[in-house]
Amino acid sequence: MTMSYEKNIEAAPNEIHEAMRGQPIGGAIKNVANMFGIRSSTQLFSDLGSALRRQGAGFQFGVSSLGFIRPDISIPTYQGKRPIHGLAPIYHCFDEVGGGKGYSQRVTRKTSRDFRGKGLTYDEHDGVDFVCPVGTELVAAAPGTVVMIRDTWLRGGLTVALDHGDGVLTQYTHCWKAKVHLGQKVKRGDVVALSGVSGMDMTIFCPWIPPHIHFMVWENGVPLDPFNSDNSTWYSPDGSGMPVSVAATEAFREELIPDTSAVDIQAINDVIPQCIDDAVRDQLQALDGQYEYIAALLEDSLHHDKWAWPEALRGVSLRGKKGGETRQLTLPLSSNFYRGAFFADKKIPKHNFWA
């Protein structure tokens, strides 16, 4: 299938400008605040207070953090521009040294290495960052069921998670708006959210960090690298190992939506009472026995909200026996604008690249 990405890009709206257009200043500010995951002043001050109380668990910086500043990518992307060749810049890869083994809010590059042995990642980064303008349609990388919609400004903002069966989940983080609901079945390529810049890190570093989706793959509660995994990896028909959009292939036309992954109800019921954070406990209890949703939220929280759980619970299993079926993933960005991705290792030129 041949697509004119340059034509599509020229027709693409700048969502930030659209949110501001024709509205009273108060409404426009509210819309832009929502893109950053700020839902109310009460929520903002509560989250900031929580961050201050957890001194040492927040963001940590160093000289190596200066590498995060990429105006060559961020400024055009905030302007609503996309690469004319239809390839999304990969801003950060999974950290093969510490990614998935733990989680901290360090934004340093002391020991990190991506799967190529290069430095396009940072310490304990647990996903892949695809750069895209605010308002880009995020699509299911494989068929599945929506099992989590979590809005946590302190850690990534609005996040949607899909269960693809056999303990494999994908997460889409820094969203502006969810376009699905819990329990909804989605096919590969279905829209699940609109990209945003939600979360404390994106808010603090605007406009120097580019808008992007933080895409994660989980297997039985452990984050893994889709560029370096045996069971959950990119569908790459040309053998390059790079993801392609669902429109670039007809290989999945007849695939079915799998059942949600099995969960260990007893293990879940044993873990929840040990939560030491009231807000996290309330989120879990609000799901009221819907264990496929509780498991997804619990796995996310055990990994990312380490202040909320005893150290002894790290690595606890909430799933049944692991299945052996391979999950092939496609690009989680709309095929209207993207056909694949590339590693943004080098500075990107201003001219003849963006449209």
**Tens digits of residue pLDDT in 278-291:** 989 999 999 999 99
71: preceding bond cis by omega (within 30 degrees) = no
34 vs 134, residue with greater confidence: 134
Q: How buried is residue 304: exposed, middle or buried, by Cβ count under 10 Å (0-12/13-18/19+)?
A: buried
DSSP 2: -
CA 9/CA 189 separation, integer angstroms:
19
Q: What is the predicted pLDDT for the residue at 66?
A: 63
Q: Which residue in 120, 142, 140 sits closest to 131, CA to CA?
A: 120
Give the pLDDT of residue 8: 47
Average pLDDT over all residues of the chain: 86
> What's residue 78's pLDDT?
95
Non-local (6+) Cβ contacts of 92 within 8 A are: 120, 121, 122, 125, 128, 129
Confidence tier at 299 by pLDDT (50, 70, 90): very high
User: What tokens were used for 281?
Assistant: 């406990």
What's the pLDDT at 115?
Answer: 96
Domain ranges (residues) in the chain: 5-260+324-343, 263-318
pLDDT in tens, 95-124: 999 876 665 555 677 889 999 999 999 888
Give me the count of residues in the chain.
355
**65 Cβ partners below 8 Å, 6+ apart?**
107, 108, 109
**pTM given for the model:** 0.89
pLDDT above 70 covers a percentage of the chain that reads 83
pLDDT tens-place string over residues 316-350: 999 876 656 778 999 999 999 999 999 999 999 98
- Please report the pLDDT score of residue 73 as a whole number: 96
Question: DSSP characters for 158-191?
Answer: EEEEEE-STTEEEEEEEEEEE-S-TT-EE-TT-E
Strands 327-329 and 232-234: parallel
What is the DSSP secondary-structure string of 274-301?
Answer: G---HHHHHHHHHTTT-HHHHHHHHHHH
Q: How far apart are CA 248 and CA 237, in angstroms?
A: 9
Helix (H) or strand (E) holding 33, with range, is helix 25-35
Amino acid identity for residue 322 in this structure: K
pLDDT number for residue 11? 44
241's torsion region: left (phi>0), alpha (psi -120 to 50) or beta?
left
d(CA 272, CA 284): 8
Q: How far apart are CA 291 and CA 321, in angstroms?
A: 16
Mean pLDDT of 147-165: 93
- pLDDT (tens digit per residue) in 54-72: 544 444 555 555 667 899 9
The CATH superfamily label for domain 5-260+324-343 reads Glucose Permease (Domain IIA) (2.70.70.10)
The DSSP letter of residue 77 is: H
% of the chain exceeding 90 in pLDDT: 61
- Is 10 a residue whose pLDDT tops 90? no
Task: Report the pLDDT value the prediction gives residue 189, as an integer from 0 to 100.
Answer: 96
